[in-house]
Structure 1
Amino acid sequence: MGLVFDENSASVSLPVVQDEYDCTLGLTRKHGEFNPKRILILSKTTRLEYELHKARFDISEAHDPVFLNRLESRGTNLLELKRKHDMQTSCTDAIIRELKKDNIEVQVATRANYTKDLALWSDLIISAGGDGTFLTASSKVRNATPVIGINTDPVGSEGHLCLTGKLQRPPDEVIRQLLDGHFYWDQRQRIRVTVIKASDSDSPPPLSFPARKRSMQSNACNFYLDNDCEELEPPVEPMLALNEVFIGESHAARVSYYEVQINDGPILKQKSSGMTVCTGTGSTSWHYNINYLNEHTVEDIMNIMGSMGFRSNNEINEKVVEGICNRFNQQLIFEPNNQKMAYSVRDPIFNATFLKTAPRGFAKKIKVKSRCSHAHLVLDGSVSIPFNQGTEVVLELIPQDALQTVVLKN
């Protein structure tokens, strides 16, 4: 179940979201029709803000001698940090001004104070930053609230998840196009992660999070977040990944040992450097680079075939080799709204004990049981869940979990 198009009305029916996520049931939106009253802007935490926070200074103390010495000892240029910070502030202010022209109520948050309640308050969430900010914005959304991205630094950020990518368009111009209805509705599928059994050895949840109602699965896990910024609350449930999920030992040099079941297939024991599972959104990232085929490998294969007696066609040249690689690599990428997950086994170990299995493929449901000693399951490179001996998880695509977003016309 994905987007359902009605050719007569050019409308799109959003998937019905479960009652517990406080979403309007049976919601239908026509392309280009959207009149938000309350919009949340999630602004990227700039490097200057990050450095000031770590040094326990505020923005007014950026020229404090102690802070300047701290930057100088690291070889960091304050002027460059200030330039990037001012650019971020200018973009955010431009978005706010354009929204207020339509009498829209606006709130601005950063990752440090972004909460589920703010996400629920919003009719639309605008990510003002890069791909990382977009992932953070989507991490709290569990209903049909759309999320869009504005790339505030097209030179320094790829902006794959943002409306205009690396195009250097004024942010107020992009917002005006959205408000004037020049867009199509779209979806990005997300991976739901459910811990069905936790290891007895995992420690209890950290006490730094405020008290709140959590499920049995959540209470059994000790969540970790990356160190870039402190957050006010633990991950919102159900746990969803927009890009990918990594499963494996925390130490890069350790072999990951686990049991895996793809869809309803047999349960297989595997040893590898870990396993990634991605959506179409994440298929251009880690998944792509794990499986990427380069020209050097193809040339080696052809040379080996020649040494085995296979005739080499004179038409096979550098251009042909490049074309082979491009065709193979394009197969690795699929659309964000495609209802399937792609899995990749990194550096699989095959021997008499661990038989050969497909190192990559597609699935709608994956069950994994840990035989690791110090492993984690990491969602979108941010939320980390202990995945040690005995822990069992299920990864699956559920249409109701899809993130709502838009694609601009032209």
Structure 2
Amino acid sequence: MYNPPTLLKNIYLGITQFLGVSIKQFSTEAKFVKTDKVLIISKLSKYEFEKGKHRNLNDRELEKILRNRGTDFEKLIYFHDLHNRFKENIVSTLRSMGCDVDVVNRFNCTEDNIEKADIIIPTGGDGTFLLAASKVTDNKKPVIGFNSDPNRSEGHLCLPKKYSTNIRGAIERLRMGEFEWLMRSRIRITLVVSEAENLIPNYLHDIDGESPTSVHKRKNDVKVLPVLALNEVFVGETLSARVSHLQLRLDGSTQTTNLKCSGICVCTGTGSTSWHMSINRLSTHTVAELLRLINIDATEDKDSLATILADIYNKKLIFPPDEKQMGYTIRELISAVVWPQPKGIKPRGFASKIEIKSKCFQAYLVIDGGVSFTFNDGTIALLEILPEDALRTVILRD
């Protein structure tokens, strides 16, 4: 029987297959990046950081303090100038391509700056990218980073290093749609607190002038924090030598597990290459010792069995940036007598929703290693990933 919708679909499939074009490319979603208004969020160099801490000193006095501290001052200035030259280069390149460009940093970036921009471009490394991402709270505005020092910085979240010397080429490809969208999952944190001061943000690299952060929503004692975690959320005692007492509930389970540990790290796929990897990775030395326990004469050479197995294991710790589940790690879980209560929880796993209740003395909830909130006894954190919280980024294929 004649079926018009099916016939049209078959014709469409045939044409796209003939042309070698993916159906996904014909999505109603725009397949280009608008670059009329560009906001550059510039890295804060170590030199600028020191100047911010010592605003009462002139340049000569600051130099004397830094040299007395043992700082390689020439190196400090070299990298400061290196980044500034890169910033000036990207600004001039974008303006020559007809872009309206504004430049801000962590101190003077406002919501109005973000709202007016078509695209956010952090220039620096992964730290600057995380800062820029924290300013964007929806999944509409793209954040696309350039690594200002590819010889010294990995810049995992930025565009491939070759585009640091080919800025024009990258922008042209973005305009022409020669890329793939990557919607990086982010963690939304809802806090249930008993005291209002628990919602005052603490910046881990604080300088006078840091803009205060306000909460998204307020209803009774439930608050959605204004910062979405692109990498990870960590909860635990401030003093690392003190045991963290926490209660953990996964995926809405009625069972709550009481824990003694060194804190809990909850990460996204983006963050699985960061702290999550550092906590869980196996060293070649450890694998070699395990092999020797089963009478295998293991070495730790570059091409040894221990090295190969460690590499395979460590690579499996990484999961996709757009994964909708979170990876959790109970750091240094104490397993003795009655701990944990009840027994059986895995020290590492995945969950769609994670609830953590504090029984701690002086603890913090830390987001992406940059901002923290008090997380003391009785405070509850609900962690989840929602599609509307994703960060819009791109992949540029070679």
TM-score interval, normalised by the smaller of the two chains: 0.7 to 0.9
| Residue 212 (structure 2) aligns with | 233
SS in 1 for 2:137: coil
- How far apart, CA to CA, are the structure 2 residues paired with 1:315 and 1:376? 42
Q: Deviations over 1:181-210 (max 9, x none)?
A: 432221111000000x2144xxx44xxxxx
| Residue 159 (structure 1) aligns with | 155
Alignment pair present for 1:375 and 2:360: no
- How far apart, CA to CA, are the structure 1 residues paired with 2:113 and 2:158? 21
- How far apart, CA to CA, are the structure 2 residues paired with 1:384 and 1:392? 15
Give the C-alpha shift of residue 29 in structure 1: 1.8
Question: Would you say the 8 A contact 2:298–2:306 is kept in 1?
Answer: no
- How far apart, CA to CA, are the structure 1 residues paired with 2:213 and 2:298? 60
User: For residues 9-408 of structure 1, what are the structure 2 equivalents within 5 Å?
Assistant: 10-11=25-26, 28-30=29-31, 33-56=32-55, 62=59, 64=60, 66-143=61-138, 144-165=140-161, 169-195=165-191, 197-200=192-195, 204-205=196-197, 221-229=199-207, 230-234=209-213, 237=216, 238-265=226-253, 266-306=255-295, 312=296, 319-354=304-339, 355-408=343-396
Letter of the 1:401 partner, please give it: D
Give the C-alpha shift of residue 323 in structure 1: 2.0
Q: TM-score, normalization: structure 2?
A: 0.84
SS in 2 for 1:10: helix
Question: Would you say the 8 A contact 1:12–1:185 is kept in 2?
Answer: no
Give the C-alpha shift of residue 84 in structure 1: 1.4
Shift in CA distance, 321/12, structure 1 to aligned 2, threshold 3 Å: farther
Question: Would you say the 8 A contact 1:273–1:345 is kept in 2?
Answer: yes
Q: Deviations over 1:77-105 (max 9, x none)?
A: 33322221221111111111222123221
Q: Percent identity?
A: 39
Q: Deviations over 1:142-168 (max 9, x none)?
A: 121110110001122110100014875
- How far apart, CA to CA, are the structure 2 residues paired with 1:12 and 1:247? 40
Question: Would you say the 8 A contact 1:235–1:383 is kept in 2?
Answer: no
Give the C-alpha shift of residue 121 in structure 1: 1.6
SS in 1 for 2:154: coil
SS in 1 for 2:354: strand
Q: How many residue pairs align between the two structures?
A: 362
Shift in CA distance, 274/147, structure 1 to aligned 2, threshold 3 Å: same
- How far apart, CA to CA, are the structure 1 residues paired with 2:287 and 2:52? 49
Could you say which structure has the higher helix fraction? 2
Letter of the 2:348 partner, please give it: R
Shift in CA distance, 173/156, structure 1 to aligned 2, threshold 3 Å: same
Runs of 5+ unmatched residues, structure 2: 1-20, 217-225
Question: Would you say the 8 A contact 1:194–1:239 is kept in 2?
Answer: no
- How far apart, CA to CA, are the structure 1 residues paired with 2:251 and 2:353? 5
Shift in CA distance, 394/331, structure 1 to aligned 2, threshold 3 Å: same
SS in 2 for 1:241: coil
Question: Would you say the 8 A contact 2:284–2:300 is kept in 1?
Answer: no
- How far apart, CA to CA, are the structure 1 residues paired with 2:297 and 2:47? 57
Shift in CA distance, 12/52, structure 1 to aligned 2, threshold 3 Å: farther
Question: Would you say the 8 A contact 1:189–1:399 is kept in 2?
Answer: yes
Question: Would you say the 8 A contact 2:288–2:298 is kept in 1?
Answer: no
Q: Deviations over 1:209-263 (max 9, x none)?
A: xxxxxxxxxxx51211123443223156343100000010000100000110111
Give the C-alpha shift of residue 283 in structure 1: 0.3
Shift in CA distance, 320/95, structure 1 to aligned 2, threshold 3 Å: same
Give the C-alpha shift of residue 115 in structure 1: 2.2
Question: Would you say the 8 A contact 1:292–1:329 is kept in 2?
Answer: yes
Shift in CA distance, 334/165, structure 1 to aligned 2, threshold 3 Å: farther
- Runs of 4+ off more than 6 Å: 313-318
